[in-house]
Every structure is written in structure tokens, then in C-alpha cells.
Amino acid sequence: MHKGAAWIVTVGNELLIGRVVNTNASWLAGRLTYLGYAVRRIVTVPDVEEDIAEVFREALARADVVVSTGGLGPTPDDITNIAFCRALGVDPAVNEEALRMVEERYRSRGYPLTPERVKMAQMPPGARPLPNPVGTAPGVLYEAGGKVVVLLPGVPREMEAIFEGYVEPLLKSRGPPVFFAERGLEVRGVPEADVAPIIREVLRLDPRIYVKSHPRGREVEAPLLYIHVYASAFDRGEADRLVDAAVGRLVQLLKARFGGAVSISEERRLA
């Protein structure tokens, strides 16, 4: 069982000449899986309007949720919003709310609103802008016929911030209910770099498990990590069991690898 089929569309010539590894696709794939979706296809296309429009048409015909990254900025090759309008067969229109978002960003730095910047506020009529807390280009949310399309910028931290702030809450509320469970651990005495391979091992247990580590101490002298373990399932008990299994495996691997050097305790309060 899953909430529906998802497609990920990543736009950018830099991906097609092999200069950039597509970490946006794997990040989104992990998050959509955790949210209960089955990611059925990831497609990368160049900054060419017809190529982008074509993949959106294919995706709209076959997926319930489509998330794209890239091509929302102010340069002439940023055309994902325009190409998406073309895929829908509608004319792009300036969204007033989006225009205010873009204008505020630039005005606060003393820059005028040029046509390239206004372009970032264009979207299909009926679409909704998603605030970008760390950059200038708003995301775009389009819902029609039970389908959701989200356009996100290609800069990873902008993409992640918009997804976590606006897309994740929306997707959680759609489709059959998904239950989430989480636990937090405080881990002292081991540097984050040494914990990374152990986390990768824990993630192999189940695709619905998600682990995030936050370094808090000084990396060399007094390393302190908060490790949050999340899991999702279509049943509350199953989500709890997955988190418990992941925490159990994590503790086992940390002790096997670091012995008495590591100290682990349940975190008192989750961030």
C-alpha cells in the first residue's frame, strides 16, 4: 500500500554533462518514500523548454505527485515555470503574492524589480507560490484533478527548506493516513564522520526509516551528537516497531564499533 505514485523531475544542463551529481533527486526520493509515496520515476532534462514541458506532460499522465527541482531563478535558462505552463497548455501569469515575495527579497537589499526578477513570479493561473526562506525564487504549488505538482529551486538548501516548510505538511495530509514515530538519542564520544557509515547501515533496514544526525559538541575534543530516528508506516504500531528496530540496531552497531568510548542516552526532549 502507498499514497500514490510520485515522479521527480530534475532540470539542468549541469546534470546532463556530468558536472553535478544529482543529490537533490536522492534527497527528494528519500523524503517522498518516508511520506508514503512510491517514487516510480526520476527524470533529468536539460534547460530546454520543450524537453521540460514534455516530461511534465508525461508525469501528469502517470503520477499523482510530481516534484521538480531547478530552473526557477532569474537567469534566461531558468524556464521551468514557463515550461510547466506550456505542458498545461496555459499562458503564464504573474502571481501577485509571488511578486510581493520576490520584490521584498530584492528591495531589502536595495535592488530594483527587473523583468528577469518578475519572471520568477510567473506561474499557471490558480497555482500558489511557496515562500523561499533562504533564496529569492518562490516555489510553485499546483493542484488539479487530484494531482499535486510542486516546482522547487535547484539550490539544495532552498529546495529542502521549501519542501520541509510547505510541501511535507501538505503531502502528510493527503491520501491514506500515514503514521510517524520518532526517537532521539544523545551520543557522546564519537565524531560525526565515524557515525555516518553506521547510519547508512541502519537505513538498510527499511526504506521507511529516516535518520538525521545533528552535531552539537566540539567535533574533536568533546563530540556530542543528537541522532533522531524517524519511521513512517500505514499503521501506528508498525511505525513504532520500525523506529525501535532502527534505534536497537544503531545502539548495537555503535557499541560494537566504539565499545566503552561511546555513551548513549535517550534524548529528553525532541527538537
Q: Is 220 exposed, middle or buried (0-12, 13-18, 19+ CB in 10 A)?
A: exposed
Interaction pattern, residues 206-245, with a second copy; x per rule: CB under 8 A: -x--------------------------------------
Closest distance to a second copy from the beta carbon of 112 (Å): 29
Sole binder of a second copy in the list 1, 26, 222, 261 (CB under 8 A): 26
- Count the site residues for a second copy by CB under 8 A: 31
Sole binder of a second copy in the list 3, 4, 31, 142 (CB under 8 A): 31
Strand partners, 210: 230
> What is the distance between the alpha carbons of residues 141 and 14, in angstroms, rounded to a whole number?
25
Q: Torsions phi, psi of 180, nearest 5?
A: -120, 145
Sole binder of a second copy in the list 11, 28, 72, 198 (CB under 8 A): 28
> What is the distance between the alpha carbons of residues 254 and 237, in angstroms, rounded to a whole number?
26
> DSSP label at 261?
G
Residue 17 lies near a second copy (rule: CB under 8 A) = yes
> What is the distance between the alpha carbons of residues 163 and 226, in angstroms, rounded to a whole number?
22
Cell numbers at residue 161, please?
Answer: 527548506
| CB nearer to a second copy: pick between 45 and 148 | 45
| CB nearer to a second copy: pick between 2 and 100 | 2
Residue 131 lies near a second copy (rule: CB under 8 A) = no
Sole binder of a second copy in the list 22, 68, 95, 136 (CB under 8 A): 22
Sole binder of a second copy in the list 2, 40, 128, 228 (CB under 8 A): 40
Residue list 57-96, contact with a second copy (CB under 8 A): none
Sole binder of a second copy in the list 3, 11, 35, 43 (CB under 8 A): 43
Residue with cell 518514500: 33
Q: Which amino acid is at 110?
A: G
Phi-psi region of 73 (alpha: psi -120 to 50; beta: other; left: phi over 0): beta
Whether 195 and 187 have beta carbons less than 8 Å apart is answered as yes
Cell numbers at residue 6, please?
Answer: 510520485
Q: Which residues in this chain contact a second copy in the complex, by CB under 8 A?
A: 15-23, 25-33, 39-46, 51, 55, 203-204, 207
